[in-house]
Each structure stands twice: as C-alpha cells, then as structure tokens.
C-alpha cells in the first residue's frame, strides 16, 4: 500500500523537517554519488526507523540510490551510494511551506547596549562584528523597533560600486557596460536574469557577488564550487549562465577592474619548473579582503558622522540602523570628501508588526 503524507499532521511535519535538515547537513557530500550507511540514514534524528512508512517515504523522496551494492564483511566494507533528489527536496519544502524561526532572546548585556547605543564590537578582518548581526533579519527588525531604532541605511550596491571606483582610482578609465548597468539598475538586472533562470533575485545577487570575488561559473560535480552549490548542481541553469551575453560581459568587466587593481596590491610570486618567477593572480580571499578594507574606510566615516551628531546606531558591515533620520546627501558628501568614493544610501523605515490580537 502506497503511503500518502498528511501535511497537516504535526508528527509528519516534525519528521519531514528533521529529514530535510539531515539532507542539508550532508548536501555537499550528496552532490556526487556518496556512501551513506543505513544506520546514519535511519537514525532517529534523521529520516527515522527503517520499515516505518513515513521514514521509507522520505527516503524515497529525498535520496536517489545510484549503487545498490554493499558489503559488511571482512576488511572491504562499504555502503550503498546515494545522491540527493533535488526535485523531491524542492517539492517537500513547497508542501511544508515556510517554517517559523524560533524567537531568539537577547542577553542582559545586549539589552543594555541597545538602550545606550554603545555596542561592543569585535574587530576582525577589517570588519566590526557583533552577536546581534547573526539574528534572523525579521526578528532583528522587530527588536530594533522595540528599542526605537527605526531607520535602516545601507550603501547602494556597495561591493560593485567600491570595486569599480577603486579600479578607476588605480587608472582604469574604460567604460564597463555590464558593470555600470548593474550599479545603476541592479533590481532590473537581477529580475531579468532571475526570470530567465527561474530562480529568486537573491540567487542572482549572490551570483554577482561571487563573480566579483573570482568565482567561476562551471558545472563540475567532481569539484563543485560555490556557484555550483548556489544553483544546487542544476546543469541547465549553470549552462545558461555560462552562455548568457550579459553575464559574459559582466565577467569581462570585473576582470578589467582587478587587472587595474593588481599592481596596487602586494605581489605574490612562485617559481615554475624552469626557475622563472611568475606573478600569481589575486586570489578570491585577497579580493574579498581588499573589498572589506574599502568597505571599512566608508564605514568609519558614517560611524564618526553618527557619533558627532549624537545618534544611536548599530553598525552592520555596509550599513547601519539608527534611532534618528539623517540627511543622506550630507552623509554621502562627507564620505566623498574624506574617501573620494561616491556612494548613495538606501533607507528602509522599520515598522512594528501587528499581532493577531491587535
């Protein structure tokens, strides 16, 4: 008898969410055929007991067995091989719908810092980090509203803008059509590509940030990269992006920026087999480090500006949330005078969510 799930049943939903969490934990492993032991699959915190209709249903839905062979004898022990069923995972998520994120409570120290506006950050890799930055966005917004931090600002298209202008500062005077279009009309560009690929605009935003720091668009299950994981190993989407004329031009524009920036960063070299010294390309890690330095130089200006105007604020890398509305043009002008970067600030006014009782 075929099992039919009841998505309104709390027990089924709980088991299904555990199964999805399990597949998510081993997602990198399952992008290519990989051994999975039946004990691990049928653990009580994963898919559940073997032979149980719910567990067997979830296993068939979320995993594809590509090699039925197994052996538990002698020294040559091995398990069946599986890959994840992307369509099954996507379908199950759609049927379950969005899952509410459990509310995080703030500590007494965080409460005091929110009241005073004197936040204690950890300075690491050119960024100021705070525990509240990791709070889910919606919960964080509601927390800010409770403490009267109602104005959220961020630099428009921060990473592409700063990298483009830094390349110009390094002598680049070429017109870069795709990058310029993205900086000027990022929403339209993301929407256009997302519709063609049938993915969210957030996927396209992440894609372009990855390209900016050196990621390659390639379908290689054996050596998957971040873009491969971003699109869940979907070969059709990845191949489309490889051939898209706009994306191709954007990659060339980004490469041009880094070509002009490279002479202004410390050079790293290696010697080839013949003993010749060879200059290394800028790694993705160094590219992101260069950007964080640029971002920090702009952030230092707005922090100084807000402190001088006695405005309570919470800083988050390329933006901040504060308790008073500011003159965005005045702040942008100060950033330009002190750093040479021409930036614009987006504003989002936070509002309190109404409860069912209200």
Alpha carbon distance 92, 7 (integer Å)? 10
Measured CA to CA, the distance from residue 88 to residue 178 in angstroms comes to 36
220-227, long-range: CB < 8 A, 24+ apart: 221/31, 221/32, 222/32, 224/28, 224/31, 224/32
pTM confidence score: 0.74
Sequential pLDDT tens for the chain (358 residues): 578 888 888 889 989 998 998 888 776 666 777 888 888 888 888 888 888 889 999 999 999 888 888 887 767 778 888 888 888 888 898 888 876 656 678 899 999 999 999 999 999 989 999 999 988 888 899 999 999 999 999 999 999 999 999 999 999 999 999 999 999 999 999 999 999 988 889 999 999 999 999 999 998 877 778 888 788 778 899 999 999 999 999 999 999 999 999 998 877 766 666 776 667 788 898 999 999 999 999 999 999 999 999 999 999 999 999 999 999 999 999 999 999 999 999 999 998 764 433 3
pLDDT of residue 169: 96
Q: How many whole angstroms separate alpha carbon 133 and alpha carbon 224?
A: 29
CATH number at 337 reads 3.30.70
- Is the residue at 281 inside a domain? yes
Among 269, 285, 301, where does a domain finish? 285
Q: Are residues 281 and 198 in the same domain?
A: yes
Q: Which of 96, 121, 139 is the last residue of a domain?
A: 96
Q: In the prediction, which pLDDT does 100 show?
A: 61
- Which residues, 6+ apart, have CB-to-CB distance to 278 below 8 Å? 269, 270, 271, 272
My answer on whether 73 and 19 are in the same domain is yes
On whether both 337 and 260 belong to a single domain, the answer is no
Please tell me whether residues 166 and 281 are part of one structural domain: yes
Domain range holding 248? 160-285
- Tell me if 358 is assigned to some domain: no
pLDDT of amino acid 99: 65
The verdict on residue 24 lying in a domain is yes
pLDDT of residue 313: 97
Co-location of 173 and 265 in the same domain: yes
pLDDT of residue 280: 74
């Amino acid at each position: 008898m075929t099992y039919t799930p009841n998505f309104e049943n709390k027990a089924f939903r709980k088991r299904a969410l555990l199964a999805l969490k399990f597949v998510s934990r081993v997602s990198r492993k399952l992008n290519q055929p990989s051994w999975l032991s039946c004990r691990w699959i049928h653990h009580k915190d994963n898919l559940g007991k073997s032979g149980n209709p719910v567990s067997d249903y979830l296993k068939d839905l979320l995993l594809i067995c590509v090699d039925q062979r197994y052996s538990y004898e002698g020294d040559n022990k091995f398990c069946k091989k599986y890959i994840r069923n992307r369509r099954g995972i996507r379908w199950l998520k759609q049927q379950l719908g969005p899952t509410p994120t459990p509310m995080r409570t703030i500590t007494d120290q965080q409460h005091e810092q929110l009241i005073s506006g004197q936040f204690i950050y950890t300075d690491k890799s050119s960024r100021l980090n705070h525990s509240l930055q990791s709070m889910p966005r919606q919960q964080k917004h509601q927390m800010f509203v409770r403490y009267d931090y109602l104005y959220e600002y961020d630099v428009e298209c921060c990473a592409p803008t700063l990298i483009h202008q830094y390349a110009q500062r390094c002598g680049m005077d070429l017109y870069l059509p795709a990058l310029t279009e993205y900086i000027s009309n990022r929403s339209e560009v993301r929407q256009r590509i997302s519709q063609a690929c049938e993915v969210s605009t957030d996927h396209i935003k992440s894609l372009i940030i990855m390209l900016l720091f050196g990621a390659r668009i390639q379908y290689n299950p054996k050596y998957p990269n971040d873009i491969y994981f971003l699109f869940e190993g979907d070969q059709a989407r990845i191949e489309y992006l490889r051939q898209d004329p706009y994306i191709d031009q954007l990659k060339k524009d980004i490469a041009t920026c880094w070509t002009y920036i490279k002479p202004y960063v410390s050079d790293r070299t290696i010697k080839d087999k013949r003993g010749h010294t060879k200059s290394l390309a800028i790694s993705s890690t160094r590219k992101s480090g260069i950007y964080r330095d640029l971002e920090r130089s702009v952030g230092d200006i707005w922090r100084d500006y807000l402190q001088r105007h006695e405005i309570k604020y919470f800083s988050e890398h390329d933006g901040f949330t504060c308790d008073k509305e500011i003159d965005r043009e005045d702040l942008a002008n100060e950033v330009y005078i002190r750093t040479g970067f021409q930036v614009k600030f987006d504003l989002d006014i936070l509002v309190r969510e109404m409860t069912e009782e209200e």
